[in-house]
Amino acid sequence: MAKKEVVETVYGKYSKYEVVKSSGMLSTTFSVYKNGAYHRGSFSSLAAAVKAAKEET
């Protein structure tokens, strides 16, 4: 079962973006949630996920 944890929060003018780390048995991926709902995902690094979230603002 995957463990999910919010590792970074980016605030935009109208939205809140959260970078969520999903740790599984064999891999770790990062996804971007916008206002609590899945928005973009499956980034292999935290830096790439944060960059994607900042580009949305």
Structure tokens at 13: 């003018």
Q: Which two tokens stand for residue 34?
A: 């916008």
Residue 38's pLDDT is what? 96
Which residues in the chain come in under a pLDDT of 70?
A: 1
d(CA 57, CA 34): 11
Within 8 A by CB and 6+ apart from 7, the residues are 19, 20, 21, 30, 46
Q: What is the pLDDT of residue 41?
A: 87
Supply the pLDDT for residue 1: 63
